[in-house]
């Protein structure tokens, strides 16, 4: 296991700005055309008051952070568990961050347990969650 991986380490954070254009691109790429994401006049009349980004778009950013930190170990042995706490809206800048909380040996493997969060420019939490990455010892 790399010496770069230790308890308490902050993972290099990512920052992404949401735009309606990006939301529309994601709708086309994923096939998710729920009007809450792409129809501004519909979304304006809902309790959310406007369009919101797809949750899976935000999770793509979370996964990008984990891939940058753990590479192939993330895509071949990662586990992710998250809750959406608030919507991400067009013009929001989302900061995706993570910390290695604990490192546990399990048989021939090492489990790296991380906490994750995404927050907007007002420091409001958008997503919270945890991830486990299995590394060969």
Identified binder of another protein from the candidate list 56, 102, 104, 105, rule CB under 8 A: 56
Give the C-alpha separation, 8 to 99, whole Å: 6
Q: Which of 1, 13, 29, 49 binds another protein (CB under 8 A)?
A: 29
Regarding 46 and contact with another protein (CB under 8 A), the answer is yes
In angstroms, rounded to a whole number, what is the distance separating the alpha carbons of residues 32 and 35? 9
User: How many alpha carbons fall within 13 Å on the CB side of residue 2?
Assistant: 10
Which of residues 16, 94, 112, 120 is near another protein by CB under 8 A? 16
72 binds another protein (CB under 8 A): yes
Between the alpha carbon of residue 69 and those of residues 1, 40, 78, 117, 134, the distances in Å are 13, 36, 12, 15, 13
- 116 with 62: CB under 8 angstroms? yes
Q: To the nearest whole angstrom, how small is the minimum distance from the Cβ of residue 35 to another protein? A: 6
Q: Give me the residues that bind another protein (CB under 8 A), please.
A: 16, 22, 25-26, 28-32, 34-36, 42, 46-47, 54-57, 59-61, 63-64, 67, 72, 74-84
């Amino acid at each position: 296991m790399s010496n770069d991986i230790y308890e308490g380490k902050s993972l290099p954070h990512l920052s992404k700005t949401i735009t309606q254009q990006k939301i529309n691109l994601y709708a086309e790429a994923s096939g998710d055309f729920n009007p809450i994401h792409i129809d501004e006049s519909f979304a304006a009349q809902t309790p959310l008051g406007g369009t919101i980004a797809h949750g899976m778009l935000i999770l793509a950013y979370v996964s990008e952070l984990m891939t940058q930190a753990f590479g192939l170990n993330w895509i071949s042995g990662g586990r992710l568990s998250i809750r959406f706490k608030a919507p991400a809206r067009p013009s929001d800048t989302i900061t995706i961050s993570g910390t290695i909380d604990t490192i546990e040996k399990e048989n021939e493997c090492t489990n790296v347990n991380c906490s994750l969060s995404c927050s907007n420019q007002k420091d409001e939490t958008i997503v919270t969650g945890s991830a486990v990455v299995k590394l060969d010892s």
